[in-house]
Structure 1
């Protein structure tokens, strides 16, 4: 449980850096990230499996678009919340020890990593300069949080995602980061599992729909 709480906290801080939000602030039994302060929309990240706290927030939070994230089963979060909350598709917190690898870029493409605010943006571009695949790396303590992994539809299943992840893993080691951390969709976890990432827990999420 303690390990999952640490991972959740590290992921929340890395996510806020990657998405250029205000830093998370501590609240009772979790964290709060202001996503859109002008509309009072925030993301609440709760302690793992704290369904009682989720139920309380489900009653107290009334602003449409407000989010709740918690380590645990999506069905359990659904049971804790009222009907005017909509479930996100299930995600999974995953980790991997960073190891150095060879990032193989196709001859027609170029690869680079650039500073992009609070995160590093790794990308592969085609001969026209269009982005083929990309991902972001944000430092959160000893963790390197990977976020926004995307590959152009026409170039999927060509190893582009693997190359970008390897690039960022190598850079993470250069930055002194020991462990990779990310939130994966059910589809995305197949790629990450093939790269050695391990599932640490399901990450359930919901947003206030009305």
Structure 2
């Protein structure tokens, strides 16, 4: 579990263009520095959630906790907003037959070998689906997989994941990790991914 969390944290930092994660006794700190998301603490379990939530008071502070939503929600003070359940998932990297983009879509790769985007375009050139992979320490970290609403249920999510897998194989990665929403979890389970742990996000909102 510790290895999966470490890989995910470092790959997420690469994907989002933030600084190198700083190891803490209970996990990692990432200085994100963006409106509404100033700093993020990724905690390996729920043991330090209470003390962290009491000591962290700056709006825009986030916790990402390996633990259930129920446990986190009953632990943090009421000023913290607790998000819906998410899931840290993993899968072995496997070389599979190349998959063509479903008609009438076309796909392109954009990246530098460390962070690569798969962009699927509709016939009019608009983005229909996207996904990103960042290679961190031999692990492929999948991020920002999105299919636009008007293009859903056409196999684009499955196609994007296959192309990201191809990029990971070419980079020499042996395992892939991601954090999925409840909706995404259903797709990834059909693709052979397994759930390692529930992830719960909580944050102190910034006022508009």
Alignment TM class, shorter chain as reference:
over 0.9
Q: Return the TM-score normalized by structure 1.
A: 0.92
Question: Structure 1 stretches (4+) deviating beyond 3 angstroms?
Answer: 37-40
Structure 1 residues without counterparts, runs of 5 or longer: none
Change (3 A) 1:174 1:205: same
Please list the CA deviations of residues 45-103 of structure 1 after superposition, one character each: whole Å capped at 9, or x if unmatched: 112x232x111110111111200011111111112211111101110011111122332
Deviations 1:84-140 (A, max 9, x none): 111011100111111223323123221111116951101111122211111000011
3-state SS of paired residue (1:16) = helix
Cα offset for 1:22?
A: 1.0
- Identify the residue that residue 72 of structure 1 maps to in structure 2: 67
Whole-angstrom distance in 2 between the partners of 1:111 and 1:13:
27
How much does 1:30 deviate?
Answer: 1.2
Equivalent position SS for 2:173: coil
Q: TM-score, normalised by structure 2?
A: 0.92
Q: What CA RMSD, in Å, does the superposition of the two structures yield over aligned residues?
A: 1.8
Which runs of no fewer than 5 residues in structure 2 stay unpaired?
none
1:20 touches 1:117 (CA, 8 Å); kept in 2?
Answer: no
Residue correspondences, number? 205
Where does 1:49-128 land on structure 2 (aligned, <5 Å)? 49-51=45-47, 53-101=48-96, 102-115=98-111, 119-128=115-124
- The worse-fitting range, judged by mean Cα deviation, of 110-119 and 122-131 is 110-119
1:32 aligned residue: 29
**Is 1:153 paired with 2:139?**
no
